[in-house]
Amino acid sequence: MLAIPLWIAVLLGQVSLKLTISPVLWHAHEMLFGFTVAVIAGFLLTAGKAWTGLDTPRGAVLAALAGLWLAARLAAVFAPYGVYAVLDLLLLPLVAAILISVLLRAGSRRNVPLGVILLLLALANAAFHGAVSGLIDIEPVRALHAGLALIVMIECVIAGRVIPAFTQSALPGVRLKVPPMLEQATLGTTAIALAVWVLGPAHVFSAAVLGAAALLHVLRLLRWKPMRTRSRPILWVLHLAYAWLPIGLALLALAQLGVLGVSSGIHALAVGATGGLIIGMITRTARGHTGRPLKASRLETAAYALVACAAVLRVLLPLLAPQHLVIWLVAAAAAWGIAFALYLYVYSPWLVSTRLDGKDG
CA–CA distance from 227 to each of 182, 233, 250 (Å)?
20, 12, 22
Q: For residues 101 and 124, what is the distance between their CA atoms, to the nearest angstrom?
A: 22
Please count the other Cβ atoms lying within 10 Å of the Cβ belonging to residue 206: 24
Mean pLDDT of 323-329: 97
Predicted pLDDT of residue 220: 97
Mean pLDDT of 105-114: 92
Q: For residues 311 and 270, what is the distance between their CA atoms, to the nearest angstrom?
A: 9
Q: For residues 245 and 26, what is the distance between their CA atoms, to the nearest angstrom?
A: 24
Q: What domain count does the chain have?
A: 2
Same-domain pairing of 124 and 246 = no
Same-domain pairing of 244 and 131 = no
Confidence class for position 252, pLDDT limits 50, 70, 90:
very high
Mean pLDDT for the chain overall: 95
Which of residues 138, 158, 176 is at a domain's end? 138
Which of residues 138, 160, 177 is at a domain's end? 138
Angle formed by the axes of helices 233-256 and 204-223, to 10°? 160
Predicted pLDDT of residue 59: 92
Q: Residue 308 is part of which domain span?
A: 197-353
Predicted pLDDT of residue 177: 84
At residue 92, does pLDDT exceed 90? yes
Q: What is the pLDDT of residues 196-231, one digit of tens each?
A: 999 999 999 999 999 999 999 999 999 999 999 999
At residue 87, does pLDDT exceed 90? yes
Which of residues 138, 158, 179 is at a domain's end? 138
At residue 178, does pLDDT exceed 90? no
Is residue 287, in this structure, part of any structural domain at all? yes
At residue 255, does pLDDT exceed 90? yes
At residue 319, does pLDDT exceed 80? yes
Q: What is the pLDDT of residues 1-51, one digit of tens each?
A: 999 999 999 999 999 988 999 999 999 999 999 999 999 999 999 999 989
Is residue 78, in this structure, part of any structural domain at all? yes
Please count the other Cβ atoms lying within 10 Å of the Cβ belonging to residue 330: 16
pTM summary value? 0.95
215: three-class secondary structure by DSSP:
helix
Same-domain pairing of 131 and 202 = no
